[in-house]
Amino acid sequence: MCENKDNHAKHMAEASRISREKMHAGLGGPFGAVIVKNGVVIGVGFNKVTTENDPTAHAEVVAIREACKHLDTFKLDGAVIYTSCEPCPMCLASIYWARLDRIYYANSRYDAARIGFDDEFLYGEIAKDIKDRTLEMVHLPDDVAAIAFDEWQEKEDKIAY
């Protein structure tokens, strides 16, 4: 990335400003995110979990959705994200799926845990063997599900992602 330090500070300041503004407006938790590609902001997000009754509406996911709509694509390679907090496991996975090039974050997952957010707990759960997780997971094989995977593998007109 050829962005200079001043641009990094500017974009992080915007993500942090959004987190405070939307939190104080009663729109969600203290999280904001900005996605930038070639020096241009292409997506902005803030936490909307409680206002949209959507546990997946974290700032990073909202920003990814906006950026993808803006560029009319599901791949954000060449873009970076500035977020006011180290992404939770769901947001981190979403960032990987979106193919962003880099993550810049302000607060850490430990800071989030200190104020009552589950990020650190979730990171710990993911690291555990499936049988040791708090949430029971049951493997229930299904023939049709297996066939769908076989068909996907052979599908010639699939769009890989």
State residue 1's pLDDT score: 45
Alpha helices in the chain (DSSP H): 5-24, 59-71, 89-98, 109-114, 119-127, 143-154
Q: With a threshold of 0.85, does the pTM exceed it? A: yes
- Written as one letter, the residue type at 24 is H
The count of residues in the chain is 161
Query: What is the spatial distance between Cα 98 and Cα 65, in angstroms, rounded to a whole number?
Result: 9
Q: How many CA atoms lie within 13 A of 58 on its CB side?
A: 19
Task: Give the pLDDT band of residue 3 (cuts 50, 70, 90).
Answer: low
For residue 107, the cross-strand partners are 85
> Is residue 14 among the annotated active site residues?
no
Selected catalytic residue, list 60, 86, 125, 136: 60
Residue 106: Cβ-neighbour burial (10 angstroms; 0-12, 13-18, 19+): middle
* End-to-end CA, the chain: 23
Question: What confidence tens digit (pLDDT) does each residue in 17-61 have?
Answer: 999 999 999 999 999 999 999 999 999 999 999 999 999 999 999
- 82-127 pLDDT, tens digit each: 999 999 999 999 999 999 999 999 999 999 999 999 888 999 999 9
